[in-house]
Structure 1
Amino acid sequence: MKKKLLLLAGAAIFTGYAGFSQAKLIEKVVKKGNELVIPYEKYRLPNGLTVIVHEDHSDPVVHLDVTYHVGSAREEIGKSGFAHFFEHMMFQGSDNVADEQHFKIVTESGGTLNGTTNQDRTNYFQTVPSNQLEKMLWLEADRMGFLLDAVTQQKFEVQRGTVKNERGQRVDNVPYGLVSEVIAQNFYPYGHPYSWLTIGYVEDLDRVNVNDLKNFFLRWYGPNNAVLTIGGDVTPAEALRLVQKYFGSIPRGPEVKNMDKMVPTLEKHRFASYTDNYARFPLFLQVYPTVPNYHPDQAALACLAQVLGQGNNSVLYQQLVKKQLALQAGASSGLSELSGQFMFQVVPFPGKSLASMFHLLNNALDSFEVRGVTDEDIAKFKGGYESQLINGLQSVSGKVSQLAAFETFAGNPNMLGELLKRYQAVTKEDVMRVYNKYIKYKHSLNVSALPKGQEKFIVGENNYTVNKDGYRAPDYGYDNLKYVKAKDNFDRSKIPANGPNPVVKVPAYWKKDWPNGIKIIGAENTEIPTVTLSISIPGGSFMEANDLSKAGLVSLGTTMMNEDTKNYTSEEISRQLQTLGSSVSVYNSNDKIVFQVQSQVKNLDATLKLLEERMFRPKFNQDDFDRNKKQVLESFKMSKSQPAAIADDVFAKINYGKNHILGTSSNGTEASVSAITLADIQNFYDNALTSKGVEVVVVGDIKEADVLPKLAFLNNLPAKDIVVPTLAKAPAVEKTKIYLVDVPKSAQTEFRVGYVTDLKYDATGEYYKAGLMNYVLGGAFNSRLNLNLREDKAWTYGARSGFSGGKQTGDFEFSAGIKAEATDSAMIELMKEIKGYVNGGITDEELTFMKNAIGQRDALRYETGFQKAGFIGNILNYNLPGDYVEQQNKIINNITKAEIDALAKKWLTPDKFNVLLVGDKAKILPGLQKLGYEIIELDSDGNPVQKKGF
């Protein structure tokens, strides 16, 4: 129920706050009963800025989002990628915020931040302890009203390079990365706002200049084209007082109108194809035009996508994947502000042509028409959607993001309940109606993504040519723009002080030990009516450590535990779970087998019955085994097409050796998985379950006394000893060497640099302190490595380093994707930074930054149920004292420069690092040979290409 308050023009909302009387309350929404609603108050300032405030004092956290109604859809032909490029520029300082200080200020405040751009909007957001709200508003207002004088040609060039690297990392250097670009070019007519990707074209990025950037800011970044949404531990009165102070004087920008809807019309089946340098398997996509977002058919299209191609009950899974005709097959409905797409995608098994997939897809749709839509289809769709909405309300950031999007695109922040009504009202007839309206007998775009040498597998010859005739560019309104700054009665150059420190409470928890060896820990969380439950049994991939001949057995075994049981098929379990809005999954880590459950409280009993079925009554049949085994074997080939995956796999082999369990993928190898039989799966299960050492973590809207009886079925676990093997010691690194894997024509070089340490996980010892030491080297955006390689040199989209550790081992690793041409230079800079840190130590300013950043982030650590589960699960897993966070805070407060410097000298060993570079040998080897390191060439399996090497 929405209570809406409208005010007469000129009416004052608040009195008693200087400069506050001009903010107009548009509406106020309150929650009544058990309705699904996000309460808020909505205001508008005279300059057009829309302000939404959601008050929630459950955690001492505030999330702030500024959404500008501008994305790549408002770009000009020939200047693609500019909206996203501009997003990067917004972090480069303004009149009162120095270069590289935006990230530093937020991070030092204990917060997190980012920005994102899509076709239709750009948003900037921060989550911070609630005493930092004023500072965040000051930051956002400064770049909204005071950006352009701080823009320099140098900053412009650096961020242009960074965006190019982002494109290389996410589009040009990954399998199927260009698929979306091919779809956009061939699906939409020339000049359509969606006919290019948000990331843009490299040649367009090279074409734009600083003046283009300034005009873009002046045209689209006015307060009247923005929605400022604040949620969390704040009152509307205080929020509006601060918003009026920092944003109220910013001049209104040019008028911005909503764009007309532009759904394309396909006059015939279109065919397009391209050769993918990184793909190992061909990919077929079929795309149909549908409707824009919030259209009345939105829910029915989403249900159609689920019935046709999502989950193991879907038509495509049953017709193509389960019959082993396709490796993957799915369907999706994606709606944006101006148009929508319904998409099918199919990856065939090796040797199958994409043309055959075209016909198999048509046959599957024919079978769907005979099958129709069932009552079960509708029930599980509605149950899943309700659960999805509820889970999205766990965090204040989730609620704020919803409010901001609803206001930006629907003009109504209170769309949550409306959408739920629409989705709950979907009928079988609705789903068949949209199938007939948008899919059956309709023209589609058919795209073939083809690996090298497999061009013969094409679906159809390219038959579409982009027609530029008749296109007339719209008037974007760039003429006569003027930069007018706000005039204030206060000094904006002064960074606002922190508010009073919020009281951060570590989640209260309870513990229970059962006589059979099961340990249970739980925390009550009443914010939303859900329960998260995990059951961890000792075991995992480490059980294979002493015999790698069938490595991957545990992984394949847990995968098989998600299949049929003795009483239900996997499809029947999936239908029940989706109808309940629940999930039950089985997977393994290095040293555990984990059963993970999520459920609404009202459906917990029924969900736990299905968990019990999965745990105690799996039915391992040959067909499921053959299909899953075949998919694992094909996944090895697929991973060999991804430079980042190659780097991770080979680096593990270099660090630990091929005969070490940590030098072997948890999925095994092609040889070891080929050797696994169905009998091995049954033997794995027969020896996998025990009650001894089992750890159960429960978080949710349920009390200890209510949940413990529901877990009584765990008493059926056998009380037997399962001993996780002690791992062999990793080989020592005698000197720094470069290992090189050749990926021809790779746009970037994947760096993996580091070594295996003796630092096992601890919460308050040297491992924890080493993490503090690394923070300013490579653990934060403003770390030395990231500032050098990304912000100063523009060679990478991101660079990072860190220590990781478990109960038996640990390592230090630097990783980044570096522009290929800068590989040798980046290697020099990397070693310079690490050696400089070892020899010169941390600065006083860096020490203060680290203490503030880590010391103040506790407010963000316990907000959601998953976060609470992680916290108390850590206590149980590592037998930590309940006050370990308090002990950590004491360490942070008291650690000295001398201690940090000593840790750097002890644990950073640049003369004894393994260095792995995965990239284009022809481009990078000549430069690397000048650096003086021994270079050993490996193949993508980690085998020496030459006789020398390890």
Structure 2
Amino acid sequence: MHAPASLRARAATRLVRHPLQLFLLGAAALCTLSSQAQDPIAMPATAMRMEQGRPVLNYEKVRLANGLELILAPDRRLPLVSVNLWVHAGPRNEAPGQTGFAHLFEHLMFAGSRHIPRGAMDRIIDAAGGTDANGTTDFDRTNYFVTLPSNQLELGLWLKSDMLGYMIDKIDAVALSNQQDVVRNERRLSENRPYGVVEDVLFQALFPAGHPYRAAVIGSHADIQSIKLADVKDFARRYYRPNNATLVLAGDFDPTRAKALVQKYFGPLRQGLPVPPAQATQPRIEQEQRLSVTDRVELPRLTLAWHTPAVFKPSDAELDLAARVLAGGASSRLQQRLVRELRLAQSVSASQASLSLGSLFSMEVLAMPGQSLADIEAVINAEIQSLAEQGPSQAELAQARTAVQTQLMQQLEKPHTLADLLNYYNQQAGDPGYLAQDLQRYQDATVESVKAAVAQYLGRNHRVVVQALPGPQQLAAEIPTPPPPKASKAAAESINPPAPWRKQQPPASGALDLQLPTAQRRTLPNGLELIHVHRPGLPLASVVLAVRAGQSANPQGLPGLHAFTAAMLTEGSQQRSAQDIAAEAARLGLVLQTTPRDDDTLISFSGLSRHFGPGLALLADVALHPAFASTDVQRLRTSQLTALGQLREDPNTLVSVVGRRAAFGPQHPLGQSPLGTEASIKAIDSEALRGFWQGHYRPDQAALVVVGDVDPNTLRQQVDALFGAWQRPDTPLPQRSRVPAQATQARVVVVDKPGAPQTALSVVTPLPPAGMPDAAALNVGNAAMGGLFTSRINHLLREVKGYTYGLYTQTQQGREIGLFSTRGSVRTDATADAIALFLREVRDMRAQPMPGPELQRVRNALLLALPGELDTHQALATHLASDWARDLPADELKQLPQRLRQVSAASAQAALRAHIDPTHLIFVGVGDWAQLQPQLEQLRARQPQLRLERWSADGPATP
């Protein structure tokens, strides 16, 4: 995955004005294929309308003369437009011995083109305020997307057309070598995660040699390293042609102008030879295959997988419903049996992964300590057999249907996911407007049809079973990373004719009206603050109840109490059992969840607005009337202890916990693991939980945030009825035993993880709390230094050196204290060099103000991206809740643009000098001590201020 500036895109399985004459000719060159828009000139308010009770997508589909398909879906709700390009090529099109090629090619598409220099695309997107800027690869396609402010539509078309038509002109051996390093670092990330070795074993058992789906999408180290430049160019000539691509525009744009611009930028690209459809016979397993692998984990995990019908084929929907009935949420059968009743498993999940050449139904179950995978498998077998013989109940079927409907509606909420859905329907169903038919498949499913599908496809003889057990991790032999090639001027190659006019970046079409949502606020007599943003247009709503009961409120001696309390809220109320709560949430199609954080705990749900009233009543019940029953406390205690063990297995989680301990000290509440310690979890009982809840869950320390299609008058009535009687106690808030964060000294802390293929790296130092006067300046300075994909640190370590898949810095300002930290991993043998280069970039940023163009780019990346960062109800509700929890002013969001505009190069430099001091930076690595110690000792010889310390997961190791 090409890592995005916004860092929000999903991971791959991969982040000149138009002359009037050409405008008219371009519009005439498009051929209309189909249209679902009532009037393609008059833009609809939303991309969906209801007809006879059925949702219908408003879109227009046309085809250019060169074969490019164009789908337009105007939607005026937000001043954003998504430019979403799908190339209909993926691993299913790879040649033998070239696994991972399609994904590597995705990376190379960002490495520059004939008219746009290497690295410039991402910087241009930053400067324009782009979000959701990335590319991903799955088995059936590769996609490239960006969401931009609506006045930058032409910019998006310019970028994507040059990627599609002119990458081959620029690619060279240096760019290929660098991206091979990056992708292999991405592969190491998966190998360094718990159970990361299972995927390869599973897919090689499911598919025979030669099948397009046999290998993991990312490929093997050997195959990635073997790719040659000629292979890249051949792949581009064959697959990266306009007649093998579809472009979707979704958002706030004029269709007539958009079609003319698409013709201008994509119309001249030359059509390629027809691409034959990928074909492969779906394997059929007639005898159960059982395999076992070992990994550096504490808990065994069971994975089961079956071949099932291809996407949109008969039984595909039924098996999706079956996955939800079996393990689709807290009320599902296996969640209740394995997790709640028998306590055999820590977690269970199931899914129907729908693909074009045949789908996969899979299940994953993580065992509790001391429990047998055989016992778990016996329960799974019994539930599948029961479903095959009796089918789901009508209630289970209704719950699964509601969940599907809710999730599909939520995909229409933001321009990027709307565009992706249209592209998905177009490729897999041949109809961008397949939404109604898709939903109808689930409506047509019956108890009998689900039963029949389970009986036909989920038999024991038709599956692969993989047991992942604790033990040594067995990886393929290391493939050396060759030295980078020297730059050379290769003979220019081209598919499309040169076009000097393309070198001119198109200007924005007018000024951007940066309008951010305005919230209506009201304080109830009991002190509860109600924050409401009315967003009609789609029948969706998001609700967040924020309570100042976060990690910072934990008393001395009981770390993790806040998280234990939050987890107990859905374990039963005075009126409902945990099963009742789960069943009611499932009936409403809601995911009711609690999220403990540093300063607060969030109790939230999102769903269809017609379920807002009963959903709010359910949320009020769990928040205001928890039971804290001793039997539930005991069960959850076991789960929390297990989760604590899992935390130690994952280097990327562990490095964050150790980093906070090093920054804040072991006595500070934020210096502990958010789950607590083994001793504290065992000591927490019903009395402690009830006491924490009574002391901190109070209306004068809470805010209810509601965003979406909820009428203000209805909201007021329901909030008064449900929360008006919530009494504010007379007692003051519990006194917090505050231990100031310790003064940090530059050092390197290593937690040993023998054999780790990467070093998980975090760099930390405390910051002042939220509300500090130079917060905006610090955020801009950090964006330039390490916060953006195009930042100095990430560019150097990823794009120049090839040491990492991505290393990013972030600033967090909490209510009482803040933290500067990083996230990412680096190649083990390059850890010391990465630390040295990191320090160099920090010193350079502090020594000189950034140049004007860099300042403008990174400032715009934060300022102009604000609408895109708040493009869902849930994102906006969470943002408003965070501002409230940190005691920021009610108009903080409204004032933020002006604060960002006022940041200068000098003020950004001053903020970095004041808060990011190299003499106080702590580098924390989780990796192989035997390989790290020699290089870190050499680093200390060059930089003696860096003390080297070896820690365990719990703190400094005993000498």
The amino acid of 1:196's aligned partner reads A
Question: What does residue 731 of structure 1 align with?
Answer: 742
The TM-score, its normalising length taken from structure 2, stands at 0.90
The question of 1:811 aligning with 2:796 is answered no
Residues 96-149 of structure 1: CA deviation (Å, up to 9, x unaligned): 100100101111111121000011100000000011111111111112111122
Question: What does residue 318 of structure 1 align with?
Answer: 336
Question: What does residue 417 of structure 1 align with?
Answer: 436
> How far is the alpha carbon of 1:709 from its aligned partner?
0.9
The question of 1:271 aligning with 2:290 is answered yes
Question: What does residue 11 of structure 1 align with?
Answer: none
Counterpart Cα distance in 2 of 1:352 and 1:856:
52
Counterpart Cα distance in 2 of 1:48 and 1:35:
31
> How far is the alpha carbon of 1:884 from its aligned partner?
4.3
Structure 1 contact 272–447 (Cα < 8 Å) conserved: yes
Question: What does residue 120 of structure 1 align with?
Answer: 140
The question of 1:156 aligning with 2:176 is answered yes
Q: How does 1:658-673 map to 2 (within 5 A)?
A: 658-673=666-681
Instruction: Name the stretch that deviates more: 517-526 or 618-627.
Output: 618-627
Residues 239-267 of structure 1: CA deviation (Å, up to 9, x unaligned): 11001011111100121122235321113
> How far is the alpha carbon of 1:567 from its aligned partner?
3.1
Match of residue 132, structure 1, among 134, 152, 156: 152
> How far is the alpha carbon of 1:621 from its aligned partner?
3.0
Question: What does residue 257 of structure 1 align with?
Answer: 276
Question: What does residue 625 of structure 1 align with?
Answer: 633
The amino acid of 1:793's aligned partner reads K
Corresponding residue SS for 2:376: helix
Question: What does residue 473 of structure 1 align with?
Answer: none
Residues 260-286 of structure 1: CA deviation (Å, up to 9, x unaligned): 35321113111222221x221111112
Match of residue 919, structure 1, among 917, 920, 927: 927
Structure 2 contact 308–316 (Cα < 8 Å) conserved: no
> How far is the alpha carbon of 1:617 from its aligned partner?
3.3
Moved over 6 A (4+): none
> How far is the alpha carbon of 1:647 from its aligned partner?
0.8
Instruction: Name the stretch that deviates more: 569-578 or 648-657.
Output: 569-578
Q: 1:716 to 1:423 in 2, by over 3 A?
A: same
The amino acid of 1:211's aligned partner reads A
The question of 1:718 aligning with 2:697 is answered no
Instruction: Name the stretch that deviates more: 891-900 or 236-245.
Output: 891-900
Q: 1:320 to 1:690 in 2, by over 3 A?
A: same
Q: How does 1:438-517 map to 2 (within 5 A)?
A: 438-452=457-471, 485-487=495-497, 491-517=501-527
The question of 1:746 aligning with 2:756 is answered yes
Question: What does residue 72 of structure 2 align with?
Answer: 53
Counterpart Cα distance in 2 of 1:711 and 1:617:
16
Match of residue 363, structure 1, among 353, 363, 382: 382
> How far is the alpha carbon of 1:489 from its aligned partner?
7.5
Structure 1 contact 84–198 (Cα < 8 Å) conserved: yes
Q: Percent identity?
A: 28
Corresponding residue SS for 1:436: helix
Q: How does 1:846-925 map to 2 (within 5 A)?
A: 846-873=854-881, 876-878=884-886, 880=888, 884-885=892-893, 887-925=895-933
Q: How does 1:611-690 map to 2 (within 5 A)?
A: 611-690=619-698
Structure 2 contact 150–253 (Cα < 8 Å) conserved: yes
Question: What does residue 957 of structure 2 align with?
Answer: 945
The amino acid of 1:29's aligned partner reads Q
Q: How does 1:343-382 map to 2 (within 5 A)?
A: 343-368=362-387, 372-382=391-401
Structure 2 contact 291–467 (Cα < 8 Å) conserved: yes
Question: What does residue 290 of structure 1 align with?
Answer: 308
Residues 783-805 of structure 1: CA deviation (Å, up to 9, x unaligned): 11011000000000001112211
> How far is the alpha carbon of 1:488 from its aligned partner?
7.3
Question: What does residue 546 of structure 2 align with?
Answer: 536
Counterpart Cα distance in 1 of 2:287 and 2:427:
35
Question: What does residue 28 of structure 1 align with?
Answer: 35
> How far is the alpha carbon of 1:483 from its aligned partner?
6.1
Counterpart Cα distance in 2 of 1:882 and 1:81:
49
Counterpart Cα distance in 1 of 2:886 and 2:473:
51
Q: 1:345 to 1:924 in 2, by over 3 A?
A: same
Please give the root-mean-square deviation of Cα atoms over the aligned residues, in Å.
Answer: 2.3
Structure 2 contact 169–493 (Cα < 8 Å) conserved: no
Structure 1 contact 285–344 (Cα < 8 Å) conserved: yes
Structure 1 contact 540–593 (Cα < 8 Å) conserved: yes
The amino acid of 2:73's aligned partner reads H
Question: What does residue 839 of structure 2 align with?
Answer: 831
The amino acid of 1:191's aligned partner reads G
Counterpart Cα distance in 2 of 1:23 and 1:270:
52
Counterpart Cα distance in 2 of 1:902 and 1:333:
53
Structure 2 contact 776–900 (Cα < 8 Å) conserved: no
Q: 1:73 to 1:602 in 2, by over 3 A?
A: same
> How far is the alpha carbon of 1:886 from its aligned partner?
5.6
Structure 2 contact 562–692 (Cα < 8 Å) conserved: yes
> How far is the alpha carbon of 1:315 from its aligned partner?
2.4
Structure 2 contact 516–867 (Cα < 8 Å) conserved: no
> How far is the alpha carbon of 1:84 from its aligned partner?
0.4
Q: 1:400 to 1:945 in 2, by over 3 A?
A: same
Match of residue 697, structure 1, among 701, 705, 709: 705
The amino acid of 2:912's aligned partner reads A
Counterpart Cα distance in 2 of 1:744 and 1:371:
49
Residues 891-931 of structure 1: CA deviation (Å, up to 9, x unaligned): 43343332222223222211221121211111121111012
Residues 491-537 of structure 1: CA deviation (Å, up to 9, x unaligned): 11111111112323222332212222122121110021222222223
Counterpart Cα distance in 2 of 1:406 and 1:609:
36
> How far is the alpha carbon of 1:487 from its aligned partner?
4.0
The question of 1:755 aligning with 2:765 is answered yes
> How far is the alpha carbon of 1:92 from its aligned partner?
0.7
Residues 576-635 of structure 1: CA deviation (Å, up to 9, x unaligned): 222222343334333334321334232222223322332333333343222211111111
The TM-score, its normalising length taken from structure 1, stands at 0.91
Counterpart Cα distance in 2 of 1:179 and 1:93:
35
> How far is the alpha carbon of 1:745 from its aligned partner?
0.7
Counterpart Cα distance in 1 of 2:873 and 2:787:
25
Question: What does residue 142 of structure 1 align with?
Answer: 162
Question: What does residue 387 of structure 1 align with?
Answer: 406
The question of 1:791 aligning with 2:799 is answered yes
Counterpart Cα distance in 2 of 1:167 and 1:88:
13
Counterpart Cα distance in 1 of 2:611 and 2:191:
45
Structure 1 contact 691–715 (Cα < 8 Å) conserved: no
Counterpart Cα distance in 2 of 1:490 and 1:157:
28
> How far is the alpha carbon of 1:159 from its aligned partner?
0.6
Q: How many corresponding residue pairs?
A: 901
Q: 1:295 to 1:289 in 2, by over 3 A?
A: same
Instruction: Name the stretch that deviates more: 809-818 or 614-623.
Output: 614-623
Corresponding residue SS for 1:80: coil
The amino acid of 1:691's aligned partner reads P
The amino acid of 1:348's aligned partner reads A
Instruction: Name the stretch that deviates more: 823-832 or 345-354.
Output: 345-354
> How far is the alpha carbon of 1:674 from its aligned partner?
1.1
> How far is the alpha carbon of 1:726 from its aligned partner?
6.2
> How far is the alpha carbon of 1:876 from its aligned partner?
4.1
The question of 1:561 aligning with 2:569 is answered yes
Structure 1 contact 538–722 (Cα < 8 Å) conserved: no
Instruction: Name the stretch that deviates more: 98-107 or 703-712.
Output: 703-712
Structure 1 contact 727–808 (Cα < 8 Å) conserved: no
